[in-house]
Structure 1
Amino acid sequence: MTSTETVTVPTAGTYRIEPGESTISFATRHLFGLAPVRGTFALRDGVVHVASPADLSTVRATIDAGSVDTGVAARDNTVRSRQYLDVARHPDITFTANGVARDGGWALRGELTVRDRAEPLDVRIDEVRVLDDRLRVRASAEVDRYVWGVTAMKGMTGRRLRFALSLSATQVSIA
């Protein structure tokens, strides 16, 4: 295990992300950028494989697209509809990363799939803490929904979403 500032590189192995102990929150704006919107998504499952060297590490996570919760039922139903996420046909949002880069900080180089459209996405790793066989990870990313073809209600709905991830994972095997 090595440490650099707030990122501790854990022991090589496989870690299962604990959905009940992890949060995916987002912030955006609506009404022509005047009003803030905050919400969450639920993580369905995920796995982190820490490699040696760490830059070869991989991540796979599945988000329940229908779990969007902004606290406003009508808005959440619209986001679940065909206009936005189309959860009836695309119940999952997935993220896969096949490497970690260190460009002035740590970042997962990956691919986010929304509505069966996969596009590159870097997820910045803000903090990794290790306690025995458990990881606590804080990470962040910015998503431009237009890149994934989610373009309904331009102007009325925020184009960019800032995500904050707080993940807890338990080691299930050692590499």
Structure 2
Amino acid sequence: MKSNETNANANANANNDKATAAPALGHYAIDPAASTVEFTTRHVFGLLPVRGTFTIRSGSVDIAEPLGGSGVRAEIGTASLSTGSRQRDRAVRSARFLDAERHPLMTFTGDRVDGTTVPGTLTVCGVARPVSLRIEESASTTGGFTALATARIDRTEFGVTASRGMAGRLLAVTLRVHCVRA
């Protein structure tokens, strides 16, 4: 019985190691068609969940040796916001929130990797703040890799302060990216 538990633990550890294994060294382009930014927040005094997406317009990942010297850059289109509600989407794209006309891109730049964390700078509405991505999964594919990373973002830190109390302050963000060797 004990050897079955040992084998199960070894298999689980191997799966966890594989799930966050680093891709091969090199320069990769983020494939916008196979990548997305998803978020969840709360609306109406925190009572109603809101889910939405943004489109990654472009980006790159450099995997270096040692892995700590790796970096990432991504551009996210603010006008690509989609929550399934046209009225809400128009409001969030407006000058009251994201001001997509004046600030068409959000950017994330990270210039190192600390284990399974990518500390970096997120710029929204011209305001840059530190944000860390936590790499939850990564898997190598032929000629590239896929990765899933998460972050928690306080929109008010970026000056997006409209509708306090009505619109959620914190966003749980999930990035799903597919990268191809460039």
TM-score, normalised to structure 1, is: 0.93
Q: Which stretches in structure 2 are left out of the alignment for 5+ residues?
A: 1-15
CA distance in 1: counterparts of 2:47 and 2:23, whole angstroms = 42
Match of 2:27 among 14, 17, 37: 14
**2-side partners of 1:92 and 1:25: how far apart?**
16
Which one has the bigger helix percentage?
A: 2
Deviations 1:68-127 (A, max 9, x none): 00000000000000110001100000000011112xxx0101000001111000000001
CA distance in 2, matches of 1:35, 1:131: 38
Alignment coverage as a number of residue pairs: 167
- Tell me, yes or no, if structure 1 residue 69 matches structure 2 residue 88: no
Provide the secondary structure at the position in 1 that maps to 2:50: strand
- Identity among equivalent positions (%) equals 42
Which residue is equivalent to 1:134? 144
Structure 1 segments (4+ residues) deviating >3 Å: none
Larger Rg: 2
Q: Which has the higher strand share?
A: 1
* CA RMSD between the two structures: 1.0
Alpha-carbon displacement from aligned partner over 1:28-51 (angstroms, at most 9, x marks no partner): 000000000000001100100001
Instruction: Could you tell me which runs of 5 or more consecutive residues in structure 1 were left unpaired when the two chains were aligned.
Output: none
Aligned residue number for residue 94 of structure 2: 81
SS at structure 1 position matched to 2:114: strand
Q: TM-score, normalised by structure 2?
A: 0.90
Q: Output the CA distance in 2 between the equivalents of 1:127 and 1:15.
A: 17
Please give the alpha-carbon distance, in whole angstroms, between the structure 2 residues aligned to 1:10 and 1:35. Answer: 38
